[in-house]
Structure 1
Amino acid sequence: MAATLRPTLPGLTTSLGLLFMAGAAALLMAAPIRRPAPNLPLAQTAIVPATTLLHRLDGEYSRAGRPVDAPRVEINIREPLEIMRYQVSAAEYARCVAAGACTPLDSPALRGDLAVTGVSHLDASDYARWLSRETGATWRLPTDREWAQAAGSRFIDDARGLSGGETNPALRWLADYEREANRKAASNPAPRPVGSFGANEYGVYDIAGNIWEWTQTCLRRVSLDAAGRTVGETSNCGIYIVEGQHRAPMTFFIRNPKAGGCSVATPPDNLGFRLVRERSWRDRLPASFIRRLPA
């Protein structure tokens, strides 16, 4: 009897394994996804379509030892982007502080409808982790390119006209500093209620207003030869790019940009942030298939 059964056991085991795997897969597809009920209002988001950008690359570039503007290249972005319509507000950040998940601010805003400012990269990252836990979705800071995608026509190309052939590059830096200083003198840098600077063509508000936004892009320093070929590149992830009316590299723990951390142009007026919501596997399924799945 044993001799008769022995040859059939491998086939039987394989069949049972396949049946078990198929049953488990069916249960997984049929069971609703358990997400924690959010204890806070859900953030309003905008869907920015896939696009092709003529984009000034991030980073500090030099040619033959002299500073030059970063190359401007065409970038094909194939995926849409879901991003917060508004910068995170003071009231929203205060909820994270109250939950013990975010560090209290040095100078909290007097009004909850103001965009939160005085936040470091660490603070913004802590908030993203907390919001992800609270909502069951994955929230994170945008990359430099994603921020440019969301900014659309409001992205400011802040090239300084540096070609590497200047006999005294310091003159260009001084002119740039004077331009930014005059802009600051003519504007009010005080944070304003969210939405004060209006929406762009994608329904994203306050892009390139008076609050610079943290990204997850690390500072790059790129060296080019006389022909424009890259001969060296270093990346420093203790410094991140912040985006606004101009790009600025900022040390990850800096809350007040006037305290240091910006090596190009004048410091940003304020440091704040908004987050990207990553698409889940369900977001990538056809709508007709999603309608057949349990809620």
Structure 2
Amino acid sequence: MKKFWFSLLLSTRIDNLVLPDKNGYFHMTLPNSRELVKVTGGEDIDLIRLIFLIFFYGYSIGDQQVKYIQLCISISVLLLSSAFSTTKAIELSLNQSPFSSGDTLVLTLNENWSGEADVYVAVTLPEDDRFFFLTPSGFVLDLTPYAQTVQARGLKEIFRLVLPELPGGEYTFYAMLILPNTLQFISEIVKVSLVFQAQSQVTPGEVFRDRLQDGSLGPSMVWIPAGTFRMGDIQGGGWDDERPVHEVSVSRFAMGRYEVTFAEYDKFAEATGREKPNERGWGRGNRPVIYISWHDAVAYAEWLSGQTGHSYRLPTEAEWEYAARAGTETKYWWGKTASHEYANYGQDGCCAGKAEGRDQWVYTAPVGSLEANPFGIYDTAGNVWEWVHDVYSYDSYSNSPSHDPSGPSTGSNRVFRGGGWSAPDCRAAYRNNGSPGYRYIALGFRLLRQP
């Protein structure tokens, strides 16, 4: 047997909302408010924590439509008696934990559930029991409970929020489904407690280099903002495995400004006793390393992670194409026509190198010899092919996740992207593949660093 009190108050604006105190009271401070009703509950209830939702009609922050207080509130909803049946229809998830700014909070529905509901997501901050409601555009960091309404009609994914910069600490996220225009819960309240890992604020486009254990500097990296883009054969005329064109969202990351060079890879080879790749007499140093297998690239990333204390890896196909396009939708980041003014690639219609215009190199060019794309990344088109993380599948675009896809879970070959000095096709959407042990005269890689 449990007893509690709640009060319903009327006003045009809520200044703050504090959840039940140690005596079980709800407190809302409103200008010129008056207490309309006080109710005592004395029946058996199955309730660990009560969430009080306020509804408005009108317009508020950012022209978002919200609702005025409804005076008729069902006591049975607030009591949540043990006879009230709920179902686990929703799930909150993050792509990693501990999480940091730029990571994405995703709300999904149980695939067996269908219906129409209002979706509410809230969070409590470290050392703070107040609820802050969330919207797809971010936290509503004031004391007005403000819920974003989403119509869920059996969709698998119904809520997505890229998390902003936050103080470090443990955050508790809540989600619930409620019948439209009522306060009737149709799903149990989902609770997820996660630790936010505070990091230094970074600016998209900011260039940096991590230090290795011997004090030397690692590869030059540039921060890439989180975003959404259309992936695949946007302009048409490509191959079937580049379709269907589909929308993809990626979280923030840092990308190598250049393809990994011989100088960088040779340092790793010397430190680990690996054989140095053949440079064909074209020169080592600042030229992109070639004859690299997928396994070689992964081993280098793992070594660099250990040297710097940061997480380096191969980019996924989606991350690679997002960075290569740099906000464009043309075949190449500079336009719709291939040009030796911007890329070191092969002759049209054959597989042989060609020097023309600013592309003075028949074979590999020193990294950064030609212009960077709008994200500040060099040689995403041409010079050498670049291994990415994903397993290759001819039809993987048909059922690829819309956020941070990492490719099929099974398969043999791995993908490489971008074209090389001998390739006639270096479109942003073009896909190639080979076995993880494959090495080639025009095949190298670049790395991604996680926040």
The two structures have a TM-score, normalised by structure 2, of 0.40
Are residues 1:181 and 2:350 paired? yes
**Out of 369, 393, 414, which is 1:196 matched to?**
369
Are residues 1:45 and 2:45 paired? no
Return the alpha-carbon distance in structure 2 between the equivalents of residues 116 and 101 of structure 1: 17
Structure 1 residue identity aligned to 2:292: V
Contact 2:278–2:290 (Cα < 8 Å) also in 1: no
Using a 3 Å threshold, how does the CA distance of structure 1 residues 69 and 121 change in structure 2: closer, same or farther?
closer
CA-CA distance at 1:221 after TM superposition: 3.3
Contact 2:391–2:408 (Cα < 8 Å) also in 1: no
Deviation per CA, 1:79-113, whole angstroms, max 9, x where unpaired? 22211111111011110111125442144663301
Q: 1:288 maps to which residue? A: none
Structure 2: tracts of 5 or more residues without a match: 1-168, 170-210, 234-239, 333-346, 401-406, 419-425
Return the alpha-carbon distance in structure 1 between the equivalents of residues 264 and 213 of structure 2: 17
CA RMSD of aligned residues (A): 3.7
Q: 1:82 maps to which residue? A: 254
Return the alpha-carbon distance in structure 2 between the equivalents of residues 68 and 205 of structure 1: 25
Structure 1 residue identity aligned to 2:443: L
Are residues 1:273 and 2:416 paired? no
CA-CA distance at 1:121 after TM superposition: 0.5
Q: 1:241 maps to which residue? A: 415
Equivalences for residues 120-159 of structure 1 within 5 A:
120-153=293-326, 157=331
Return the alpha-carbon distance in structure 2 between the equivalents of residues 129 and 234 of structure 1: 22
Structure 2 residue identity aligned to 1:90: F
Mean Cα deviation higher: 244-253 or 185-194: 185-194
Q: Which has the higher contact order (CA 8 A, sep 6+)?
A: 1
Return the alpha-carbon distance in structure 2 between the equivalents of residues 42 and 112 of structure 1: 14
CA-CA distance at 1:141 after TM superposition: 0.2
Contact 1:101–1:130 (Cα < 8 Å) also in 2: no
Contact 1:141–1:275 (Cα < 8 Å) also in 2: yes
Q: Which has the larger radius of gyration?
A: 2
Contact 2:254–2:450 (Cα < 8 Å) also in 1: yes
Are residues 1:92 and 2:264 paired? yes
CA-CA distance at 1:235 after TM superposition: 6.1
Q: 2:436 maps to which residue? A: 252
Deviation per CA, 1:117-164, whole angstroms, max 9, x where unpaired? 111111111111111111111110000000011112578759xxxxxx
More strand by share: 2
Return the alpha-carbon distance in structure 2 between the equivalents of residues 37 and 204 of structure 1: 26
Using a 3 Å threshold, how does the CA distance of structure 1 residues 106 and 55 change in structure 2: closer, same or farther?
same
Contact 2:277–2:289 (Cα < 8 Å) also in 1: no
CA-CA distance at 1:36 after TM superposition: 7.2
Return the alpha-carbon distance in structure 2 between the equivalents of residues 275 and 223 of structure 1: 23
Q: 2:174 maps to which residue? A: none
How many residues in Structure 1 have an aligned counterpart in Structure 2?
203
More helix by share: 1
Q: 1:71 maps to which residue? A: 244
Aligned residue for 2:413, secondary structure, equals strand
Q: Identity, % of aligned pairs?
A: 31
Using a 3 Å threshold, how does the CA distance of structure 1 residues 68 and 95 change in structure 2: closer, same or farther?
closer
